Amino acid sequence: MSSELFERCIAEAATVAENVYFHVLGEPTLHPGFGLFLKKLEATPLKLNLTTNGTTIARVSERILECPAMRQVNFSTHAYAELPRETALTHLQDVLDFCKMANAVRPDLYINLRLWNVGDAASRSWNETMLAKVNEAFAETKDSSSDGTQTAPHISLEHFCSRHKSFPLVGRIYLHQDSRFEWPAASSSTERREGGDPSITSTNYSVWIPSGQSPSRMTAAGTCRALDTHVAILHDGRVVACCLDHSGQISLGQIQEQSLAEILDSPMATNLREGFEKHELRHPFCQSCSFCKRFGK
């Protein structure tokens, strides 16, 4: 994303939102304009929630901690399960060092250490290692937002349940566990349609089954908070319904051509939002999405 487009995005975001998130797909701290973008954001009333894999945190920690617009940092620490053990441990140590630094100098900053792969057998070994390191790191950490020493609870994988996903470690630092989700499938030109009128601009909806997908995975019933609590803007200015849609399957408009308010008020966005309210997934991309199952039925 260019600097000019970024400025346009945050100017539009400020008309409808209080918070922005630097993510969708990719690592935001690797953008060559990361520092400049923070500076531009500081000139707006917007607050920033940064989602990062943490592999560059040692390099950018100072800039993050000195940014008054920074509200929250989410570390995708589950990603380290895919890395060689030594590399994973090095990245985790950098993240834990950042957490301790933030707790000392930015106690207002929310930090989530994400473990979004619980239940995945292949990740269990890494998850156990990570929890041991986290428990060790926060065993007795002084909470700089209070006078005393706060002892973090000892957390094990068995603490996880669908109703208890977030565990406080110290101050505003949390461990957030969740199950792994599958990215929704992008549709192809070979889609096979089943049901009635497939137009998502219609108030009717139908089930589309992309070729090669099992019909049992497809559903038209479900809800989502997209277009209510959040919307995403891709690197080229396309506005999409959510951060899972990195390839622009639900393209609602171009931020260079319309205001964000106009795009959110468009017939397509309105139709999708109304569908979510009625527990109807009206777009084929949403029908292949497992993430929305987190929102219940």
Binding status of residue 244 toward ligand SF4 by CB under 6 A: yes
Cβ proximity to ligand SF4: between 129 and 247 the closer is 247
Contact 119, 182 (CB under 8 A): no
Helices marked H in the chain:
3-16, 34-42, 57-65, 85-105, 124-137, 260-264, 267-277, 284-287
Alpha helix segments (H runs only) across 79-227: 85-105, 124-137
By CB atoms closer than 10 A (0-12, 13-18, 19+), residue 1 is: middle
Question: Looking at beta carbons only, is 175 or 286 nearer to ligand SF4?
Answer: 286
* Binding to ligand SF4 in span 245-274, by CB under 6 A: 245
The owner of tokens 């506005």 is 239
Give the nearest distance from C-beta 289 to ligand SF4 in angstroms.
3
Span from 3-11, 71-79, 93-101, 289-297 in contact with ligand SF4 (CB under 6 A): 289-297
Which span (51-59, 149-157, 187-195, 283-291) binds ligand SF4, by CB under 6 A? 283-291
3-state DSSP call for residue 106? coil
Size of the site for ligand SF4 (CB under 6 A): 13
Among 131, 169, 242, 260, binds ligand SF4 (CB under 6 A): 242
Q: Does 21 bind ligand SF4 (CB under 6 A)?
A: no
Q: Which amino acid belongs to residue 168?
A: P
Residue 242 and residue 171: Cα distance in Å, rounded? 30
Interface of this chain with ligand SF4, residues 61 to 100, rule: CB under 6 A: none
Report phi then psi at 205, rounded to 5. -140, 160
Q: Under the criterion CB under 6 A, does residue 20 sit at the interface with ligand SF4?
A: no
| Cα R_g (the chain), whole angstroms | 21
Instruction: Tell whether residue 226 is a contact of ligand SF4 (CB under 6 A).
Output: yes
From 56, 97, 291, 293, residue interacting with ligand SF4 (rule: CB under 6 A): 291
Among 224, 234, 260, 268, binds ligand SF4 (CB under 6 A): 224
In the bound state with ligand SF4, the residue whose beta carbon lies nearer, of 51 and 150, is 51
Q: Residue 251, Cβ neighbours under 10 Å: how many? A: 15
**N-to-C CA span, the chain:** 36
The beta strands (E) that lie in the chain are given as 19-22, 47-52, 70-75, 110-118, 141-142, 149-150, 166-170, 173-179, 192-194, 207-209, 232-233, 238-240, 251-254
Task: Report the site for ligand SF4 in 138-177 (rule: CB under 6 A).
Answer: none
* Residue among 184 and 210 whose Cβ is closer to ligand SF4: 184
Half-sphere exposure of 243 (CA within 13 A, CB side): 13
Q: Which is nearer to ligand SF4, 144 or 290 (CB)?
A: 290
Which one, 71 or 282, has the nearer CB to ligand SF4?
282
| Near ligand SF4 in 172-201, by CB under 6 A | 184
Task: Write down the least CB distance from residue 296 to ligand SF4, Å.
Answer: 13
With respect to ligand SF4, which residue has the nearer C-beta, 247 or 258? 247
Give 154 or 294: the residue with its C-beta nearer to ligand SF4.
294
Query: Interface with ligand SF4 by CB under 6 A: which residues?
Result: 184, 224, 226, 241-242, 244-245, 281, 285-286, 289, 291-292
